[in-house]
Amino acid sequence: MKKIALMLLTMFAFAKISIAQDVMQYMNGKEKKVIYEAQAGDYVYYFKKEGGKKHKIDKEEVFRIFRKGGDTVYVYVQDSLMENEYSVNEIERMMNGQKEARKYYKPYLNLATGFCVGGVSAYAGLFWSFLPPAIYTTVLGVREANSAYFVVSDDSLYDDEFFLEGYEIGARAKKIKYAMIGSVAGIAAGFAVFNMIIPKVDALK
């Protein structure tokens, strides 16, 4: 009984510490629990845990800080001189688009294409095998994602230009990520085929 009580007390204390932390929201909508300290110059200073090492991050990467007390500290400020042309509301809609892209956009074609490119490239040897996949992912980074394949939680979001702009950014990043994963897997599979399986088959002839 005492052990159970101790476990519950420990869990409660851990949950209380977790809840008490601030939340830093990046410009892409992702969030991270931190202990916010201050803004100074071009950086935001924070701690990952109480009594831990102080960290800093460029202000351009941070949108806002949700304080544990309930208030919000906005790091992003609309300023055309700093090339921050979007309003806070527009940035929020763009971040929502990136979140939806991370959740709903499925670039399986890029995953499969990356696998094929990597697999064929493995024939060129270890040094040259990474060149075609690198070219492929670079092309994906330059080309915009096709909006015809965008999947969203609410059809009304298709009418929000800022949401779609954010979604395109998130979709493009996801395409590159999937292509890289597919390419690495393809290279590994290609090396296995060209250096292990095919030689063994030839030896049996």
- In sequence order, the 6+-apart residues with CB closer than 8 A to the CB of 84 are 76, 77, 78
How high is the pLDDT of residue 127?
Answer: 75
Specify the residue for token string 């409660």: 12
For 70, the token pair is: 């309930």
pLDDT of residue 125: 79
Contact at 8 Å (CB) between 88 and 78?
yes
Q: What is the DSSP letter of 194?
A: I
pLDDT (tens place) for every residue of the chain, 205 residues total: 555 544 544 544 444 444 458 999 999 999 999 999 999 999 999 999 888 999 999 999 999 999 998 999 999 998 877 778 899 999 999 999 999 999 999 999 999 999 999 988 988 877 788 898 999 999 998 888 988 889 999 999 999 999 999 999 999 999 999 999 999 999 999 888 877 666 655 565 6
Name the phi and psi angles at 53, rounded to 5: -75, 140
Please tell me the pTM assigned to this model.
0.77
pLDDT the model gives residue 190: 87
Residues 6+ apart with CB under 8 A from 44: 24, 36, 38, 56, 57, 58, 59, 62, 65, 75
Q: How many degrees, rounded to 5, is the angle at CA 105 between CA 175 and CA 62?
A: 75
pLDDT of residue 59: 94
